[in-house]
Amino acid sequence: MLLGRRECDGTRNSSKNAAIGTGSSETPHHTQTIYSSTKPMWKENIERHGFAILQDILTSEEIIGLCEQLDGPGVRHNRAGIRHALGIEPVAAIARSQRLMDIAKGILGSQALPIRATLFDKSPLSNWLVVWHQDTALPLRERREQSGWGPWSIKDGVNYAHAPARALEKVLALRVHLDDSTASNGPLRVLPDTHRLGVLTDDQIHALAEQTPPVSCIVPRCGVLAMRPLVIHASSKSTSKIPRRVLHIEYASSRFIDDDMEVAIA
């Protein structure tokens, strides 16, 4: 994850060596639409491919209201967006809304809870790319030495550790689209079916990026991209004037994600 990842140096996978997310080609629209999910296909798509696109999950009014709150006084943005946004009440309210909780619980079970929210704000004024990677760092309440966890870091006062696959398999991200994600405004791109391969090295990610046709996640405003953190993903710089704001909310299957490892709410 960009905002968490840039600062999470000392990662197991050095992002500097990861494949650059320029992508060989944009996914043809007909290919992309097979991942656009109507019930009941979305669960199967997440299970099989590591992601699914769900349209019209929130209303236009909800999105406008949320954007106004995020642009309001007292909300601290940085260059690429907002980190640790669950502390912002309107964000927490959306994260806990029945519609998002139903999706999260449908995959993670009845104890699912939102653990972290990040606003990714890509625009002509703040344009960036993210290389191919998996999201492997989780926010945790306390630092504990446990097999498979680490290295550790602290970001804005929150403990982070790179997690083993057994914990990351209990996480789902729901990316709420505050703008249309189009082929040209730097949409998230994913390598389908890579979420079942465990935590990969940079070299493995690089090799998979060379071999696997990427899918550009074209998602209209109000839609949600549901994705597993281990699905390899990247995004390119925008070449459009249209902003691309996405609220990325991660859910865990329970507060204790691995033995006595308790997630932090961030």
Ligand X SMILES: O=C(O)CCC(=O)C(=O)O
Contact between 135 and ligand X by CB under 6 A: the answer reads: yes
Among 1, 85, 230, 231, binds ligand X (CB under 6 A): 1
Q: State which of positions 2-61 bind ligand X (CB under 6 A).
A: 2
Q: How far is the CB of 188 from ligand X (least distance, A)?
A: 5
**C-alpha distances in Å from residue 150, one per residue of 82, 83, 136, 143, 146:** 24, 21, 10, 10, 8
Contact between 116 and ligand X by CB under 6 A: the answer reads: no
| DSSP β-bridge partners for residue 35 | none
Q: State which of positions 144-173 bind ligand X (CB under 6 A).
A: none
- Residue 136 and residue 12 in contact, taking contact as beta carbons nearer than 8 Å: yes
What tokens were used for 23? 């992508």
Which is closer to ligand X, CB of 73 or CB of 125? 125
- Residue 195 and residue 230 in contact, taking contact as beta carbons nearer than 8 Å: yes
Contact between 236 and ligand X by CB under 6 A: the answer reads: no
Contact between 188 and ligand X by CB under 6 A: the answer reads: yes
Q: How far is the CB of 135 from ligand X (least distance, A)?
A: 5
Ramachandran area for residue 67 (φ above 0: left; ψ -120 to 50: alpha; else beta): alpha
Q: Is 75 helix (H, G, I), strand (E, B) or coil?
A: coil
Contact between 130 and ligand X by CB under 6 A: the answer reads: yes
Contact between 120 and ligand X by CB under 6 A: the answer reads: yes
Q: State which of positions 243-262 bind ligand X (CB under 6 A).
A: 246, 248
Q: How far is the CB of 5 from ligand X (least distance, A)?
A: 6
Q: Is 231 helix (H, G, I), strand (E, B) or coil?
A: coil
End-to-end CA distance of the chain: 14
> Which residues make up the interface to ligand X (CB under 6 A)?
1-2, 120, 130, 135, 188, 233, 235, 246, 248
